[in-house]
Structures are given as structure tokens and as C-alpha cells.
Chain A
Amino acid sequence: MKIIHCPINGPRPLQEFHFGGQVREMPVGSQVSDAEWADYVFNRSGEPGIQREWWYHTASGTWFIAERDCQSDEFIRTYLYGGRESDA
């Protein structure tokens, strides 16, 4: 069973979580070109390596950030957005 460390609730099975997508900075719509906005809306990076992702612990309603190697599917660490960290 794959285990993810929720920063609030500790180690829990994958079934208690939902994936929320890659952490991405949203550009200010009025300050970027249509092409740049379309790139933000429609394109995602498929590059293998460590990426920051949003994850959601459904039972407690906790959103947090996980750094995951999307090539090996290994969780490096998890932490609250701007908050405390948990070793994955």
C-alpha cells in the first residue's frame, strides 16, 4: 500500500488522498499576451523529475504541497502551503 505523509494527520494510505495538480504560478491575465495565457491554461509539463504538487487529504479536508519525483513516483517531502513540513 502506498503511504503519503499528510502534514496534519501523519502517514495515511493513498486512498485517503486526491491529487490536485502541479503547483503553478498563475499569471495576471491583464499583463500577459493571449499566447502566454493560453500556455498557462492548456499546457502542462511532462518533464520527468521532482515537481511540486497539490494533494488533498479528503477525510480531514487538508490541502498541502508534496514534492514528488514523477519519474520514480517517490514522495520526497510534504508540507502545508507556507506552513510546517513533514518528512515524506
Chain B
Amino acid sequence: MPETIRQSPLHDRLNSEPLPAADLSAARLGAVGICDVSLLPKLGVKGTGAAGWLAEQWLKVPEEVYASAPLEAGGLIVRLGADEFLIEAGSLDESLAALRERMPGDALHVAPVAREDAGLLLVGPRATEMLLQTCGYEFAKSPDQRFVYTRIAGVSCGVLPQQILGNRGYRIWFDPSYALYLWETLVEIATELGGGMVDAAGMQ
């Protein structure tokens, strides 16, 4: 059986140009930086028993639909519906795979949902301005940590506003088949705003 290789849908695109040097990343983050975080492991959990089972795994499960909460080990959990959750790890570790293995299955009405979403981070003081140009939803009035389904440059996305590096930033999930289009569109606009692609390592 061939070994599974996990790679970002932007892998080829990002390997066709060098990552920006640290000082250039820092300069871009002063305007708006865009970063590919598609490789962060994700897991969907769904079912009438999902909330109860997750509460047994972590202390804090968001109570309201579209609310989110940080995980103690890094990463976050978002409540997408009454019985549906999205979990994203904070690093490339295998913690979510272990969680999936512990999932009890049909008996407790808890089911895993494969999540292969592409993931982007928009960071920097001009990130909100960038979304104003590409999205009909007004994020300036939206609270932090409140998940929003909307369309960015015509692509259906889930967006989570967060404080990142001292500014309002945005975590974006969307169908990976649109990754190249949305990446190139957003990088072009970010460049016009004085920013551009940044290295994930530069955001630590």
C-alpha cells in the first residue's frame, strides 16, 4: 500500500517561489500578510452525541452555534451547528488522529467528518480592509472568535476573526479545489496594500 503524503493544495505554487526572508515577512505583516496553514490537521465531529462526547474530551465546548473556543493543547474548536463541530490542531502533531481513534461510533451517535479544507491566515492591520474589497460581509462589526460563513472573491468560506500578533486577523477555511485561485487573488490584493505572502514560521 502506498504511503500517504499529506500536502497543501498550494504545495506546488508555494514551492515555485522562495519564502520571504524574515525581515520581509515582518514588513509585510505591518500591512497584511497571507499565510497558508492548510496542513494543520482538522477533524469534523457530528451527531446528536457529539457535544456530550467532546465535553468528555475537553472541558470547554462552545455552547452557541458559530461560537469557538481555544484548545488547551493549541488549536481551536468551532461549533458549526447544534450537532456539528470543526476542530483544528495548533500544530502538525497527531493529537486529532488519536482523538478520532477514541471516537465511540454509532452507539453514542458520534461520527467523524473528514475535513480536507484549505486554510489561510490573514494577518496585519490592513487585513480587515482586504476583506472589505473581496467580501460582502462587514467584518468590522463582527466580534472576535465568532465564526462566519460568507463568500470571499466568490468562494464560499468559513471565517473566524481572531486577535493575531496584536491585530485583528482572520482564519479562513474553504474547499481546497479553489485554493490556487483564492491564494493568487488574495496575494495580489495584499501586495497592492503593501503586504503579501508570509512564512508561517515568521508568525510565531
Contacts and interface: CB of A to CB of B under 8 A. Distances in A.
Contact of A13 (B136, B148, B156, B157): B136
A58 B156 contact: yes
Contacts of A16: 136-137, 150-151
A28 B134 CA distance: 46
Contacts of A5: none
A1 B136 contact: yes
Interface in A18-64: 57-60
Contacts of A60: 149, 156
Nearest to B150: A59
Interface string B147-159: 0111100001110
Contacts of A59: 149-151, 156-158
Interface residues of A, number: 10
Please indicate which of the listed interface residues B136, B149, B151, B157 has the most CB atoms of chain A within 10 Å of its own CB: B149
A1 B136 CA distance: 9
Interface residues of B, number: 9
A9 B149 contact: yes
A71 interface: no
A84 to B, nearest CB: 12
A3 to B, nearest CB: 9
A60 B151 CA distance: 10
A58 B151 contact: yes
Nearest to B136: A13
Contacts of B136: 1, 12-13, 15-16
A18 to B, nearest CB: 11
Interface string A53-83: 0000111100000000000000000000000
A58 B149 CA distance: 9
Contacts of A58: 151, 156
A15 B149 contact: no
Given A58-B156, A59-B156, A59-B157, A13 B137 contact: yes
Nearest to A6: B149
Nearest to A13: B136
B120 to A, nearest CB: 16
Given A12-B137, A13-B136, A16-B150, 12 more contacts: A1-B136, A9-B148, A12-B136, A13-B137, A15-B136, A15-B151, A16-B137, A58-B156, A59-B150, A59-B151, A59-B157, A60-B149
- In the complex, the 5 A-B pairs of residues with the closest C-beta atoms, listed nearest first: A13-B136, A60-B149, A59-B149, A59-B156, A59-B150
20 contacts: A1-B136, A9-B149, A12-B136, A12-B150, A13-B136, A13-B137, A15-B151, A16-B136, A16-B150, A16-B151, A57-B149, A58-B151, A58-B156, A59-B149, A59-B150, A59-B151, A59-B156, A59-B158, A60-B149, A60-B156
